[in-house]
Amino acid sequence: MIGGMFLIFVLFLALGIPIAFSVGWATLSVHIMDPTFACNAEYFFKTMVNGMDSYVLLAIPLFMLSSSIMAESGMSNRLFDFFSYFFGNIPAGLPIAVVVTCLFYGAICGSGPATVAAIGTMCIPLLTRLGYDRDFVTSMIAVSGGLGVIIPPSIPFITYGLATGASIGDLFIAGFAPGILIALCLIAYIVFYFSRRDNSRLEIRENTKALRDKGFICILKESFFALLAPVIILGGIYGGIVSPTEAACVSVVYALLIGVIAYRAINLKKLVGCLVDTARTATPVMLILSICIVFGRVLTILNVPQALASYVVGHVESKIVVLLVINLFLLFAGMIMDTVPCILILAPIMLPIVQQYGVDPIHFGVVMTVNLAIGFVTPPIGTNLFVANSLTKIPITRIAKNAIPFIVMFLFALMLITYIPQITLFLPDMLG
């Protein structure tokens, strides 16, 4: 019965049926194969509705809304100018500023594709005009956008917490060090790339001079509220002042105040547009979430996670091998599935397995998210690739090809994060 359930799921995906419907029909198939099983249509829809009745889930559309408002208000532009002021006078400086901006913007929006869209819209034309290779810049931003789901607040972390019961606050804290490590690995490759090339064609002095003429105080004033955003959002969570859901509400209010009053970039028309865009983005995500909740409960009733954990433990002794195999599987899953359903389906199955080997749930949540962040830039799903393609019209295959060195550095960081748990856990342990 379990085999039939997964066979239907894979078959429907192979036929190109949307993942929400693939998961839904796979779940209902259990009742068709065994009419005595409780998961009939009535149980399915009741569980969907009850599963959505969650205070935690409110954080997802709220963070999406705040991200949309912040993007519309031009926060990414101001962040990039701030970091360019420090890094912009060397050949690798502006690309480094892009990576740091993606890192920082991720602490505002919590979304990989949103980070690519916001940073790419501004940086790709600018860096291309200054002489940087357009393919290189596009690929770099597509990969760096993956930092948006690792640096908190992160929608995948919220999803993982919902699926496993892990503390979302601890996941947020744990994401900092891995996110910075990945950013440093990407920067290392950027420095190496420009150290081996003739950089005489780059017109970086033009951009740097414009920023220097403004002066540091002026740049700081322009970017102050953008820099303050993650401090308010994350400081509230870590200080115990607000929950992650309440922090999402705070982020929306803050984004509105800054966009309307400070930057004067948001009017009623633009706000309505942000609300519509958020509804279009959040609706399919919430639909998938509700269906995957039912799927997860059916798996639990069938005792799949526990049975699989017992089987793996009984046949594989090495923790290193298990983690390697799970990483490879997650990398493959990230290529063919979106992040949210992937976490909701696989986290309840895989977590009991790794716990048998002493892996902390918080550590595994970060490992899982980093794996799936790589999936943002690997075909055929590769959401970040599609966003980058929409900005530049560069073929997706070409973006993916140029992204390979960056993906290699991402994978290197993933291995360090996987096998050195303290990279992830030292901050939660220190603050907890």
Rounded Cα distance between 209 and 205, Å, is: 6
70-108: pLDDT as tens digits: 888 888 888 888 888 888 778 888 899 999 998 888 877
First to last CA, the chain: 43
DSSP helix/strand/coil, 131: coil
pLDDT score, position 199: 78
Q: Extract long-range pairs of 187-194: CB within 8 Å, 24+ residues apart.
A: 187/96, 187/99, 187/100, 188/409, 189/405, 189/406, 189/408, 189/409, 190/92, 190/95, 190/96, 190/99, 190/140, 191/92, 191/96, 193/92, 193/136, 193/405, 194/91, 194/92, 194/95
**DSSP secondary structure letters along 7-35:** HHHHHHHHTT--HHHHHHHHHHHHHHH-T
pLDDT in tens, 181-221: 999 999 999 999 999 887 777 877 777 777 778 888 888 88
Q: State percent of the chain over pLDDT 70.
A: 98
Higher confidence at residue 341 or residue 373?
Answer: 373
The secondary structure element, H or E, covering residue 162 is helix 155-164
Can you tell me whether residue 376 is helix, strand or coil? Answer: coil
| Banded pLDDT at 368 (limits 50, 70, 90) | very high
Q: What is the pLDDT of residues 5-58, one digit of tens each?
A: 778 887 887 787 877 788 888 888 887 787 777 777 788 888 888 877 777 778
**Triad 151, 155, 157: Cα angle to 5°:** 70
* Chain segment 116-150, per-residue pLDDT in tens: 888 888 889 888 988 899 999 999 999 998 888 89
Q: Where are the domains of the chain?
A: 38-431
The model carries a pTM of 0.85
What is the per-residue pLDDT for 355?
Answer: 92
Q: How far apart are CA 324 and CA 327, in angstroms?
A: 5
- Going by C-alpha positions, the residue among 273, 293, 255 that lies closest to residue 57 is 293
Q: Is 167 helix (H, G, I), strand (E, B) or coil?
A: coil
Give yes or no for a contact between 26 and 8, defined as CB atoms under 8 angstroms apart.
yes
What SS3 state is found at 395? coil
pLDDT given at position 134: 93
